[in-house]
């Protein structure tokens, strides 16, 4: 990605208003103590200025711990009209009061919520971004079709244990699922790439064609540790990690690691959220 897209060190000021929408996909990628990538849905992420981002915290989780141990982060913002911004940022500090704290808690999502509100605002300095981009829908559709045609049968071999639960396997194969791949680059930053064409081939393998975002996906080395975050429009999500298993015919393969379920605060009532 670093060679394929022009880097900017600031957002276009005209784009900042789009980040304020509550109905958007906001992803924060971090790196854990084990040097593995982690992805969290944080829809409150937005730009405070052209060179600084912020996001509100209402619950505890790994990403909030990770940024204090390793400030390198990646982010992705996708609006409902399919406009997208990606980049890298450095976590700098947090605040428990002030203008931004009040702004978050006065927003409709939290102002009328009797159970929880934003208790911490986190700030990050922008390192690089690549401007506003649209999703390449034609390539994504074709890539999804190729993936479906080329993926192997999902039946488990004798003696093999199921890794993905049936619900999680079904999520990756839903038509409305959005998937994103995360890897750690040479500078130690987690990098997010849309992977909407990703599908499950049984409970032990994810597959995807590189027709969409081929320049980025083509740079993946076999054996690389990656994470894939799956999300539906009902805001149900699942995160899996595993080893990238290389090119096979028309598809790319990933073997997910065994899951570690984690319960998250119920921001959305229908959220079935096993975290891997």
Q: How far apart are CA 30 and CA 39, in angstroms?
A: 6
Name residues of the chain where pLDDT drops below 50.
1-3, 250-251, 259-276
Task: Mark whether 142 and 250 lie in a shared domain.
Answer: yes
Task: Mark whether 112 and 29 lie in a shared domain.
Answer: yes
Judge if pTM exceeds 0.95: no
Task: Mark whether 87 and 33 lie in a shared domain.
Answer: yes
Q: Is residue 169 part of a domain?
A: yes
Q: How far apart are CA 241 and CA 37, in angstroms?
A: 8
Task: Mark whether 162 and 111 lie in a shared domain.
Answer: no
Task: Mark whether 125 and 230 lie in a shared domain.
Answer: no
pLDDT in tens, 133-165: 999 999 999 889 888 887 776 555 666 788 899
Q: How far apart are CA 52 and CA 239, in angstroms?
A: 27
What single DSSP character describes residue 188? S
Residues in the chain: 276
Residue 220: CATH number of its domain? 2.30.110.10
Task: Mark whether 118 and 167 lie in a shared domain.
Answer: no
pLDDT in tens, 58-77: 888 899 999 999 999 999 99
Q: Is residue 273 part of a domain?
A: no
Q: Is residue 117 part of a domain?
A: yes
How distant, in Å, are the alpha carbons of 171, 263, 272 from that of 167? 6, 15, 9
Task: Mark whether 18 and 129 lie in a shared domain.
Answer: yes
Q: Is residue 37 part of a domain?
A: yes
Contact 219, 191 (CB under 8 A): no
> Domain end: 113, 133, 153, which one?
133
Q: Is residue 157 part of a domain?
A: yes
Number of domains in the chain: 2
Range of the domain at 195: 136-256
Task: Mark whether 157 and 208 lie in a shared domain.
Answer: yes
Task: Mark whether 118 and 70 lie in a shared domain.
Answer: yes
pLDDT in tens, 218-242: 889 999 999 999 999 888 999 999 9
């Amino acid at each position: 990605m670093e060679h394929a897209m022009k880097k900017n060190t600031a957002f276009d000021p005209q784009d900042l208003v789009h980040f304020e929408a509550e109905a958007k996909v906001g992803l924060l990628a971090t790196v854990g103590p084990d040097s593995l990538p982690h992805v969290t849905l944080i829809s409150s992420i937005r730009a405070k200025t052209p060179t600084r981002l912020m996001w509100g915290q209402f619950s505890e989780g790994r990403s909030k711990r990770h940024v204090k141990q390793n400030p390198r982060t990646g982010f992705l913002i996708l609006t409902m009209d399919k406009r997208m911004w990606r980049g890298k940022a450095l976590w700098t500090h947090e605040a428990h009061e002030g203008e931004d704290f009040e702004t978050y808690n006065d927003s409709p999502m939290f102002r009328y919520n009797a159970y929880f509100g934003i208790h911490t605002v986190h700030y990050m300095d922008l390192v690089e971004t690549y401007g506003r981009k649209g999703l390449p829908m034609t390539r994504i559709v074709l890539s999804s079709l190729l993936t479906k045609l080329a993926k192997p049968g999902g039946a488990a071999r004798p003696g093999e244990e199921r890794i993905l639960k049936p619900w999680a396997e079904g999520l990756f194969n839903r038509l409305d699922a959005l998937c994103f791949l995360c890897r750690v680059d040479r500078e130690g930053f987690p990098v997010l790439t849309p992977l909407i064409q990703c599908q499950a081939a049984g409970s032990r393998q994810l597959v995807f064609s590189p027709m969409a975002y081929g320049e980025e996906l083509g740079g993946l080395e076999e054996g690389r540790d990656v994470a894939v975050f799956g999300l539906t429009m009902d805001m149900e999500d699942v995160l899996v990690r595993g080893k990238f298993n290389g090119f096979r015919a028309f598809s790319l393969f990933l073997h997910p690691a065994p899951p570690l379920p984690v319960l998250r605060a119920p921001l959305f009532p229908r959220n079935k959220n096993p975290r891997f």
